[in-house]
Structure 1
Amino acid sequence: MAQKNEAEKKIKKGSKLLIVGGLVVLLLFAGIGIGGFVFASQEDESFVSRFTPEAEAVEISFPLEEFLINLSSESERNQPVVRMELTITSLNEEAEELFGKEIAKVRDAVIHVVANQSVETIYNEEEGHFLIKNDIKKRINQALEDDVVEDVFITNILLQK
């Protein structure tokens, strides 16, 4: 019987070693997996940003009332007129309040840019986009003294010669 007890003790000791060894191997693989995820080469992402949820940027759209603007012309007698509607967008959460408060500056900036255009230049495009949109965006941002306007969309335009 003494031999039987010693044999049972050896078996129990061997199975404990086997369980501990299995746990060590399991932890080793888990560590390799986590390390690979954390230290993998991701150029544009910081270490902390991998573990924090991304906050989605909220785009604010602010439609402007219709504009009726005289274009620059050689002749004052037959001055061309453009009727246009615009929507400006921003990623700044306080932009809608700013646009509403400073609407006179925003409208003045648009009128200034458009009034300096001619019939020949109002529809100029580059890569499928009206060039005037960038000019309007820059002028509004200048007037507001902040880069708050993200994009300008021309929602309606009509030119009368």
Structure 2
Amino acid sequence: MASEKAKPTKKSKTTKGTKGKKKKLWVVSIFFAIVIIGVVSYGFTSGKAQVIISDLFKEEIVETTVPLEEFLINLDSGTSIKKTFLKIELSLHSSKEGAGEKLTANMAQIRDSVITVLRNKTEDTVFKEEDNKLLIKQELIEAVNVKMDEDLVDAIFITNIVTQ
């Protein structure tokens, strides 16, 4: 009995088939993982991924510009007898959502606040600048925002200005 040799065990066909399928599954999985990693790394190195990601987190800014009708105003003459007139056209700029509708709905109040600021100016003070910017623009922005009870206007564009 000591001379009895151990009989080799035969593996069943199902075990061999299962191992082959598992091996193929691993190869396919590794292949797809490499492809996915390649595509993702290409996206990040080409800059396309950064654009897509930044677009996802980008807050959409709604800008609007509302033109005002022309103003013709008697400027303060100060000590001079001569009357000076100011003809000016303005546009109000806002980055707030819904600002266009609010500004348009309150046009009479806005025009009144612009006239109030401008009629107290002289020809010299209308064109007064600081850091190459007309000071009158900031005064008009503040006056309109006070009238609207909120900071709607963030810039004023002067599209035409004449004194006589």
- TM bucket (normalised to shorter chain) is 0.5 to 0.7
Structure 2: state its 5+ residue gaps: 1-8, 45-52
- CA separation of 1:70/1:90 partners in 2, compared to 1, >3 Å: closer, same or farther? same
Measured after TM superposition, the shift of residue 55 of structure 1 is: 4.8
Aligned pair partner of 1:142 in 125, 136, 146:
146
Q: Percent identity?
A: 33
1:99 aligns with 2:103: yes
- Higher mean C-alpha displacement, 136-145 vs 70-79: 70-79
Give the conservation status (yes or no) of the 8 Å contact 2:78–2:122. Answer: no
1:123 corresponds to which residue? 127
Q: Distance in 2 between matches of 1:82 and 1:27?
A: 72
Task: Please name the residue that 1:86 is paired with.
Answer: 90
Return the TM-score normalized by structure 1.
Answer: 0.67
Q: C-alpha offsets along residues 68-108 of structure 1, whole Å, 9 cap, x if unaligned?
A: 11222223621221110001122234223222221121011
How far apart, in 1, do the equivalents of 2:93 and 2:54 lie? 29
- CA RMSD for the aligned pairs? 3.6
Partner amino acid, structure 2, of 1:141: N
**In 1: Cα distance, 2:121 partner to 2:105 partner:** 27
Q: Number of residue pairs matched? A: 143
Give the Cα separation in 1 of the matches to 2:99 and 2:55: 30
- Structure 1: gaps of 5 or more residues: 38-48
TM-score (norm 2): 0.66
